[in-house]
């Protein structure tokens, strides 16, 4: 389809970091018929409620940025909820979109769908070729079912349902709760708070987990939003596409970059008794590049924008309840 600026576009999860970035990007391009509901207004786990919503709103495009998310502790503590609730959310959305002849469906997942020990960089073809990372396998299995459901619809009904798998995301409206946040926002908060704290005239030291040697890739969330708009405005020829920068750096180099941006001058101590996690997790983004899209925000620029947002919103941190 060729969407018009008044095409009815439903963004599930529009208040989260990803969904809100997509909403802002669509508005900036002039899309004027955006639909969003809060979780208190619509429980996406409720099949009947989702059916009624689709019947009343009649979206022409659905972007699924809704999910139950959390870190290692949350995944380990609530495996059933992470598996079942994510499947309920995406199954209800995908099934109603099919039944009501939605023209385009964009499903957002995560790079954790790929096997723990898959070769680097991660290609789309590596899906289901080996065991998953145990710490988030419940979430990953749910997302894999979403990818395969969209693939089945594409294969059986010829409909434009596609799946985008982003790498590690960061940006405005990220989660900075130190108990549940991911590594990049956690570093921003830790280094900022250490900068604000001095001992004998020296800024406080910061202790970070592991050795700093693992390699990670990071994508600014506003770039992901642009990738979603690219998928909206173009007919992607396949079901599954990785979305990332295709570049990574060590966790230690990430910490030093954030330390420079924040202006922290104290010492960083690495606690090597804590786990490092997977040594490397880099996405092969050649398929998306060949389709015509490429990330444009450099890591330093993206972190500076994220830190500026952090400074303005310290009283309103998004916290993930588990």
- Mean pLDDT score, 92-108: 97
317 confidence band (pLDDT: 50, 70, 90):
low
291 membership: H or E segment, kind and range: helix 286-291
Q: Any known ligand binding at 318?
A: no
322 confidence band (pLDDT: 50, 70, 90):
very low
Q: Any known ligand binding at 45?
A: no
Residue 181 pLDDT: 81
Q: Any known ligand binding at 110?
A: yes
Q: Where are the alpha helices (DSSP H) in 104-250?
A: 137-157, 183-196, 221-233
Contact 145, 134 (CB under 8 A): no
* pLDDT tens by residue, 211-258: 999 999 999 999 999 999 999 999 999 999 999 999 999 999 999 999
Tokens of 41: 């207004």
- Selecting among 10, 114, 139, 307, the annotated active-site residue is 139
Is 307 an annotated catalytic residue? Answer: no
Domain borders along the chain are 9-171+219-246+281-297
Q: Any known ligand binding at 36?
A: no
Least confident interval from 36-50, 67-81, 172-186, 250-264: 67-81
Q: Is the pLDDT of residue 183 over 50?
A: yes
Bridge partners (DSSP) of residue 220 are 170
Residue 74 pLDDT: 78
For every residue of 16-47, DSSP letters joined together read: SHHHHHHHHHHHHTT---EE---TTT--TT-H
CA 149 to chain centre: 19
Q: Any known ligand binding at 19?
A: yes
Residue 321 pLDDT: 42
Q: Any known ligand binding at 189?
A: no
Q: Any known ligand binding at 17?
A: yes
Write the CATH number of the domain with boundaries 9-171+219-246+281-297.
3.40.50.720
CB atoms within 10 A of CB 19: 24
| 153: Cβ contacts below 8 Å, ≥ 6 apart | 94, 98, 105, 159, 161
């Amino acid at each position: 389809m060729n969407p018009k600026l008044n095409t009815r576009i439903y963004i599930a999860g529009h208040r989260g970091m990803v969904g809100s970035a997509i909403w802002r990007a669509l508005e900036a391009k002039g899309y004027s018929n955006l639909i969003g509901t809060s979780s208190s207004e619509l429980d996406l786990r409720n099949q009947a409620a989702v059916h009624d919503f689709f019947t009343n709103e009649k979206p022409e495009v659905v972007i699924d940025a809704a999910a139950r998310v959390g870190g290692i502790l949350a995944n380990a503590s609530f495996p059933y909820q992470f598996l079942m609730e994510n499947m309920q959310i995406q199954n209800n959305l995908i099934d109603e979109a099919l039944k009501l002849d939605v023209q385009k469906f964009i499903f957002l997942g995560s790079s954790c769908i790929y096997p723990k020990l898959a070769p680097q960089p991660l290609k789309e073809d590596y899906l289901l070729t080996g065991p998953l990372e145990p710490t988030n396998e419940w979430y990953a299995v749910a997302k894999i079912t979403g990818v395969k459901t969209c693939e089945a619809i594409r294969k059986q009904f010829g409909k434009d349902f596609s799946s985008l798998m982003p790498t590690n995301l960061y940006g405005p409206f990220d989660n900075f709760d130190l108990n549940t946040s991911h590594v990049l926002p956690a570093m921003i908060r830790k280094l900022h708070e250490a900068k604000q704290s001095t001992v004998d005239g020296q800024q406080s030291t910061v202790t970070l987990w592991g050795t700093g040697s693992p390699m990670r890739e990071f994508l600014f969330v506003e770039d992901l939003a642009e990738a979603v708009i690219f998928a909206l405005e173009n007919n992607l020829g396949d079901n599954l596409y990785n979305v990332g920068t295709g570049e990574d750096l060590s966790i230690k180099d990430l910490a030093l970059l954030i330390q420079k941006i924040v202006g922290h001058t104290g010492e960083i101590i690495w606690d090597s008794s804590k786990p490092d996690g997977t040594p490397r997790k880099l996405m092969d983004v050649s398929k998306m590049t060949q389709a015509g899209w490429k990330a444009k925000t450099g890591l330093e620029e993206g972190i500076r924008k994220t830190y500026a947002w952090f400074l303005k919103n310290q009283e309103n941190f998004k916290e993930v309840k588990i």
